[in-house]
Amino acid sequence: MEQLDEHLSSTNLNTPPSFMQLGITFFIYFILLIFSIVIYTTIFETFGLFSLLNQFQDTIKFPIRPVLLLFVLEGLVIFSNYYLQGRLYELFHQSISKAVLIPILCWVIIIGGTFMYDTYQSIPINLNIFIRLGTLLGWYGTLCLIIAYYFQHSNRKLYYSLLFLHWILYALIFYFTF
């Protein structure tokens, strides 16, 4: 009888999460992302930092605005992705591949659906669009890999150094691509 009680009370470790758990996780993720973007835009507009960045960029002749905006954008995405990937890592029983591929697939569906819907209306199809979308997805994919690597190994120094290297590398790529 005790074996039956143990069997009925324990959960199977290979069961996938429920649709409700995934739905709530993505809902909170998008709320965090939207909330952080609204706060970022409010702060930059309230204090006039966009015009200040343009003035610095004109006087110094260095692309301060794109580099700083990429840094802030990466911070916002790291903040919300850290929650999403941590939750997916727990829900899928510490599966790194699922914690990385599900957010990437989500954004591919969102961007691809938007691009396919708007293709015949206003966006001219050329190679630059695919290069830019590929660069964005590469940026997001490597960011997801860095965050998932942190969940697996929990090495803060390596995590922050990889994030800094990622920011420098993609600041240069975004500067030349966009």
Rounded to two decimals, what is the model's pTM?
0.77
- Separation CA 118–CA 103 (nearest Å): 23
CA angle in degrees (0–180, nearest 5) for 123-34-160: 100
Do 140 and 107 contact (CB within 8 A), yes or no?
yes
Asked whether residue 178 carries a pLDDT value surpassing 90, the answer given is: no
Task: Please write the tens of the pLDDT for every residue from 127-159.
Answer: 777 777 888 888 889 999 999 989 888 888 988
Question: How far are the Cα atoms of 64, 65, 172 from residue 71, in angstroms, in the given order?
Answer: 10, 10, 12
Asked whether residue 103 carries a pLDDT value surpassing 90, the answer given is: yes
Task: Please write the tens of the pLDDT for every residue from 68-87.
Answer: 777 788 888 888 999 999 99
Q: How would DSSP label each residue in 84-117?
A: HHHHHHHHTTS-HHHHHHHHHHHHHHHHHHHHHH
Three-state DSSP at 63 gives coil
Do 67 and 61 contact (CB within 8 A), yes or no?
no
- Separation CA 137–CA 87 (nearest Å): 21
Asked whether residue 112 carries a pLDDT value surpassing 70, the answer given is: yes
- Separation CA 102–CA 108 (nearest Å): 10
pLDDT of residue 30: 93
Residue 125: pLDDT band (50, 70, 90) is low
pLDDT of residue 122: 60
Question: How far are the Cα atoms of 29, 74, 96, 110, 148 from residue 144, in angstroms, in the given order?
Answer: 14, 11, 10, 17, 6
Please tell me which residue, 175 or 73, carries the higher pLDDT value. 73
- Please report, as a single letter, which amino acid is at residue 108: V
